[in-house]
Amino acid sequence: MVIEMSTDIREFIKDKKRIVIKIGSSSLQHKESGDLDYTKMEVLVRELCNLRNQGKDVILVTSGAIAVGKKAIGLNKLEQEAGHLGVKQACAAVGQARLMMIYQKIFAEYNQVAAQILMTKDTIVNNFNRQNAKNTFTELLNMGVIPIVNENDTVATYEIVIGDNDTLSAIVTGLTRADLLILLSDIDGLYTDDPRTNPEAEFIEVVEKVTPEHMQMGKKSTGSNVGTGGMNTKMVAAHIATNVGADMIIANSSDIRIIHRLMDGRKIGTLFKAQNNPEFNMVEYVKNLHH
């Protein structure tokens, strides 16, 4: 179910020039089998290419590499649960290549070039690495390429792991100075409580400023056993994105075509308004992130 508050328009969204879109593992897979949902991937790519054709810069942050790798290798549930970091990293190595191959194939159908960028926490906190990443993003976007970003699970150890792609997408937003972040998930947006357990939970259409109360609201479990990000990580993402000067929207990915509706300015999902806080130090914040 997609919650649309009204037919009112968020006019300013139409003018956004650089958009980061994050999609989670559970949004890209069939619930029953865990295999990739090619129809959804096709629609996603079409929506991104359409934004690119409007002259906007587009960056995709995508999950799914470990899950795709597990399916490819044929790990059963018991083996997955018993799997240590090395197993996950091996699955990521297989899955990342497969995921990119599929993306490249679909993007090519729309005559669009895509690139792969794999990041770790070290990419952000190391000054030299951060500048290199920033330069790469800048050049790719200048060339009209759509960067596809994921955490580098193949090499990430506990010390340099970001932990989830909600946070990663907000970091990418700050790094590239994007003016909009869209988090596509299996939820409609922010509620006063977990709507799965509390029928009284109220939907929040706009968050003017992310407060400690909002951060507290996020400390609920995720509804999916595929991804790593619950509402807590989305609040962390909102905190980062709004402080670096970007608006952020959480919206439901059950229909991927929601992207162009959001970009048309329709009031769907929860909008977190940009603050542009000059005192916010993203690098220091990332350094102190615990996962």
Domain segments of the chain as ranges: 4-287
pLDDT for residue 232? 86
DSSP for 178-196 reads -SEEEEEESS-SEESS-TT
Residue ranges of the chain with per-residue pLDDT less than 50: 5-6, 78, 221-229
Which helix (DSSP H) or strand (DSSP E) does residue 5 occupy? strand 4-9
pLDDT for residue 81? 56
CATH superfamily of 4-287: Acetylglutamate kinase-like (3.40.1160.10)
Which helix (DSSP H) or strand (DSSP E) does residue 207 occupy? strand 206-207
Q: Mind spelling out the 3-state secondary structure of 133-170?
A: HHHHHHHHHHCCCEEEEEECCCCCCHHHCCCCHHHHHH
pLDDT for residue 23? 94
Query: In whole numbers, what is the pLDDT of the chain averaged over residues?
Result: 87
The β-bridge partners of 208 are none
State the Cα–Cα distance between residues 215 and 178, nearest whole angstrom: 23
